[in-house]
Structure 1
Amino acid sequence: MSESHGVWKPQNSKFYYCSFTVAGNRFNGSTKLASKKEAISFARRWKESEVEKIKKAASNPAGEMTLIDAVTRYMREVGDGYVNSGDYESNFDWLVDNIGPNTLLYEIDDDMLAQLVALRGGERKYGREEEEFVSKTTVNCCVVKRLRALLSRAKTWKVRLPDEPKWTSHLAPERRRVRTMTVAEELAFEKWAADFWPFILFILLTGLRRRDALIRWSQVDYEANVIRVRMKGGKDHEVVITDDIRALLDAAAEDGHPEFVWQCAVLRGEFTGRRVPISYGSSLHQFKRILRLARIENLTLHDLRRTAGERMYRATGDIAAVSKFLGHSSIELTRRYYVHVIPDDVELRMIATAYARQVMRERALARQTVH
């Protein structure tokens, strides 16, 4: 056995098999190799791998937690409380399917993460071949950041992770999106939007995400003059009810739905024409339909949130107010992702600079004349 290194070729088989024992556990199977030399190398690598796993387990006794157990505990402790808990569930489902439910947490290392990133990046949006590949932002969020959140939480459960991935090295550079809705596009969209327009206008006025903008009447506090929402990450946020927002709410109240604020008519099927509450899914479908009718390209629902933030910034120049308006945790986040300078902004500032220069020149000339 020592000469064969636990490798042999059964009768009527073109492949070599191998067998070895590590810590009392027997491992055997086909190497799927026809060369004895290659089969021996394969068996040696396999055995070294199993020995390494045993060493990790010995140095990491609390790490005997499987991926599925960790996901279940994470969702129970924190994930289910998130407004976007459904996104977390779908992301974790993908990870469990592609990593394996019984994979131990300490087995998730840089090599595994790199393979997952490549796999997710090669998938198409919505799983449809006619769509483009998922964005780098999606890969970063749904794979790297989700796993990082899970393993960070696991460390609070005293799970040791000796080979925890170097997370930042797996984050792909994201192309910062700067698309906003122009006033001309807003007018074109409104022309085709019909009873879906109040919901869109509400987003433009409040800067809320699509999910957060689907409010219920229980969230509207007329006495305090605010609308209370729970944003991504479970953060509480209040929207001031301005005159424009109040007008939208008053008009929506006339429809008389007892729970949901925003409604629109069903466009097809046996319930055509019936007004029903706008849902998370139907809002996207309606939005894309109207974009096609209005011939507006490359605009997303989330771009409306950016539009709201940028319009406030251009009107006030107050980045701190914009950050609070959008419910961000830091001004830097607002500055990086939601506010950018466009050519019109540059022109306006050039005009303002030229005007200030002229005023200073006139004042200097006036002083020279006096003296």
Structure 2
Amino acid sequence: MPFRTKKTRVYQYDIVVKGCRFRGSCGTEDYEEAKAVEAQIRADAKTRRAAGGSYTLAEALGTYHRDKMIGTPSESTNAGQCRAILKLMDGKQKIAQMTDADILMYVAKDRENCENATVNRRLQMLGRAIRHIGKFYKAEIPTLELKAAETKEPREIVRELSLDEQERLFHALPHEYHPLVCFALMTGARVATITNLRWSDIDLVNGEMTFRLKGDELMTFPINREVAALLSALPRSNVLRYRGHVFTRLNKQTLDRQPIDPHGGIMPTAFRKALLEAGIEDFRFHDLRHTFATRLLRKTQNIKLVSKLLGHSSIETTTKYAHVLVDDLRDALDGYSVLGDGPKITGSQNKSQNR
């Protein structure tokens, strides 16, 4: 029967069909709906086992998304990756018949319109989907050199929003998105983490909140006075099923406050338009996270603290911001001299310079 864990309100399933184990998210908080989903998954599994586990690319991606991604902060990102892959690859192609040549052809096409990092993330997701269908559904899968097909990524540039740019951004940005952007600057949270935040994650009494990070990890983040004031002033949704969402936007047609889609639609479009109007170049919403990290590191000089607040599993990931410390060290040295006012010029040196 469907069950829930302490980490999520969404029901999960964990069933065994003919010796093969299937587990994942039912994608719903309603118990009766979860039972129906589990029953359908059980029926699909029996059908697949009887057919010998022959899956197409579209089926593999869809199965992975249903089993692993629904109900997670990365759900919408994963759905977009699946759509992007299926635009350039034949969804009806059997997984067992895929070759390295198919992968290289896809990479070449995708690189025409996307950055290398985006292509690589999609390749990595494809690999996870293929391994998932092989492991849990006993499908025949090929040996593909997906890692070798990845393209070299340029070193990530840490882009910090200047105070002047920040003022111009807020001037151009619609007011309903000011709290979202302010919260990103105050916490360094990723856009998916912010838009997935629920009021049940907020504990103003104890001054802490729970963030859902990449990989479905949970993180406790402190609430200071500034963040508490922002959260307390946020309007609640007038739609019952959206009342749990912390950040919402107003649908001007229905006047309903709805959840914010972080990866497509109105909010990202409004943010890009504001950047254009403000004359801010080479900046993404994710750079608000970089801005938080560099400002905090400059103030505290404590890279371990910054690493913890960013939710990094390793401090090595945070070293990209170490340039802030180097800049401050250089400034300190510029005001320091062993000889006091600087090196003294001896008489012999004066004579040589006068010749």
Q: State the TM-score, normalizing by the size of structure 2.
A: 0.68
- How many residue pairs get aligned? The number is 282
User: 1:169: Cα distance to partner?
Assistant: 4.0
Residue 280 of structure 2 corresponds to residue 296 of structure 1: yes
Aligned to 1:3: none
1:283 partnered with 2:267:
yes
| Counterpart code for 2:316 | E
Inter-partner Cα distance in structure 2 for 1:278 and 1:64: 38
Question: For residues 3-51 of structure 1, what are the alpha-carbon distances to aligned partners after superposition, in whole Å with 9 as ceiling and x for unaligned?
Answer: xxxxxxxxxxxxxxxxxxxxxxxxxxxxxxxxxxxxxxxxxxxxxxxxx
Q: CA deviation at 1:141?
A: 1.3
Gaps of 5+ in 2: 1-50, 342-355
> In the alignment, which residue of structure 1 is the partner of 2:117?
137
C-alpha deviation, 1:354, in angstroms: 5.0
Q: What is the alpha-carbon distance in structure 2 between the residues aligned to residue 150 and residue 238 of structure 1? A: 30
Please say if 1:335 is aligned against 2:314: no
Given residue 290 of structure 1, which amino acid in structure 2 is its aligned partner?
A: A
Q: 176-185 vs 163-172, which deviates more?
A: 163-172
Task: Map 1:58-77 onto structure 2 (within 5 A).
Answer: 64-77=54-67
Gaps of 5+ in 1: 1-60, 123-132, 363-371
| Bigger Cα displacement from structure 2, 227-236 vs 161-170 | 161-170
Look up the match of 1:156: 135
Q: Secondary structure at the match of 1:301?
A: coil
Query: 2: CA distance between counterparts of 1:137 and 1:67?
Result: 22
| Deviation readout 1:113-150 (Å, 9 max, x if unpaired) | 1100011122xxxxxxxxxx3222211112x1121212
Partner of 1:91: 81
Which 10-residue stretch deviates more, 204-213 or 254-263? 254-263
Please point out which of 134, 154, 157 is paired with 1:174.
154
Task: State the alpha-carbon separation in 2 of the partners of residues 81 and 254 from structure 1.
Answer: 22
Within-5 A mapping of 1:1-371: 64-122=54-112, 133-142=113-122, 144-157=123-136, 158-159=138-139, 161-193=141-173, 194-214=175-195, 215-252=197-234, 258-262=243-247, 276-277=257-258, 279-280=260-261, 281-336=265-320, 339=321, 341=323, 346-354=326-334, 358=338
Separation in 2 of the partners of 1:72 and 1:166?
19
Which whole-Å CA distance do the structure 2 matches of 1:292 and 1:299 have between them? 10
Q: What is the distance in 2 between the residues matched to 1:220 and 1:135?
A: 36
Structure number with greater Rg is 1
Taking a change above 3 Å as real, the CA distance of residues 82 and 263 of structure 1, as seen in their structure-2 partners, is: closer
Measure the CA separation in 2 of the matches of 1:163 and 1:70. 15
Quick one: structure 1 residues 181 and 66, their matched pair in 2 at CA, closer, same or farther if it must change by over 3 Å? same
Q: Counterpart amino acid of 1:237?
A: M
| Distance 1:295-1:253 versus aligned 2 partners, 3 A rule | same
Measure the CA separation in 1 of the matches of 2:269 and 2:87: 28
Aligned partner of 2:201: which letter?
Q
The amino acid of 2:184's aligned partner reads I
Supply the RMSD in Å over aligned alpha carbons: 3.2
The percent of aligned pairs where both chains have the same amino acid is 24
Paired letter, 1:261? V
